[in-house]
């Protein structure tokens, strides 16, 4: 096993992901998008985000390709945009479920979790599992080994 400390971290996927997702309002907007909330006023009411903050987060999520704008118009009103998840945005679902499950385990009220996500077809609660490519369940970090990937770079950051 090679020592991962010999490799640079200036192209770290975790750091790059956090640059896009790593703040409260972004994750709350995504939570609501996964719950079917699409319109600015509804997103603002559900998240409690200040108008300017919400506008900036929505712009960033559109620029990053996680949401797309879809025009709509209510009778007698001007045209506005709805925000819908793209495939890139939909691929974040396991991350939000993992955050929710962690919060349910360590931060929920004594009454239990406020939301239980269930499988639409059978009604059973959804659970996340970490599996290797051969299908073995991985119990945690002590059962893994980080290895350099194809994008790994040796040496100190430039």
- For 113-136, write each residue's pLDDT tens digit: 999 999 999 999 999 999 999 999
How many CB atoms lie under 10 A from the CB of residue 100?
Answer: 19
On the question of pLDDT at 19 being above 90, the answer is yes
Kindly indicate the confidence band of residue 148, based on its pLDDT and cuts at 50, 70 and 90: confident
Residues 6+ apart with CB under 8 A from 145: 1
- Predicted local distance difference test score (pLDDT) of residue 1: 45
Task: Answer whether 30's CB lies under 8 Å from 66's CB.
Answer: yes
Domains and CATH numbers, the chain: 7-143 (1.10.10.10)
Instruction: Give 101's contacts (C-beta < 8 A, 6+ positions apart).
Output: 127, 128
**How far is 94 from 100, CA to CA, in rounded Å?**
10
Q: Which of 50, 113, 58 is nearest to 83 (CA)?
A: 58
123: left (phi over 0), alpha (psi -120 to 50) or beta: left
Separation between Cα atoms, residue 20 and residue 91, nearest integer Å: 14
Round to whole Å and give the CA distance between 31 and 51: 17
């Amino acid at each position: 096993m090679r020592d991962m400390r010999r490799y640079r971290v200036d192209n770290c996927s975790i750091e790059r992901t956090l640059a896009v997702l790593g703040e409260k309002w972004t994750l709350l907007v995504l939570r609501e998008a996964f719950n079917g909330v699409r319109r600015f006023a509804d997103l603002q009411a559900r998240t409690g985000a200040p108008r300017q903050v919400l506008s900036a987060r929505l712009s960033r999520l559109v620029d990053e390709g996680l949401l797309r704008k879809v025009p709509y118009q209510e009778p007698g009103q001007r045209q506005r945009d709805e925000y819908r998840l793209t495939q890139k945005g939909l691929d974040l679902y396991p991350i939000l479920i993992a955050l929710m499950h962690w919060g349910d385990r360590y931060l929920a009220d004594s009454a239990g979790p406020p939301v239980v996500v269930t499988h639409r077809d059978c009604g059973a609660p959804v659970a996340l599992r970490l599996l290797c490519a051969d299908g073995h369940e991985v119990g945690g970090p002590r059962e893994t080994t980080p290895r350099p990937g194809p994008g790994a770079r040796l040496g100190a950051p430039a």
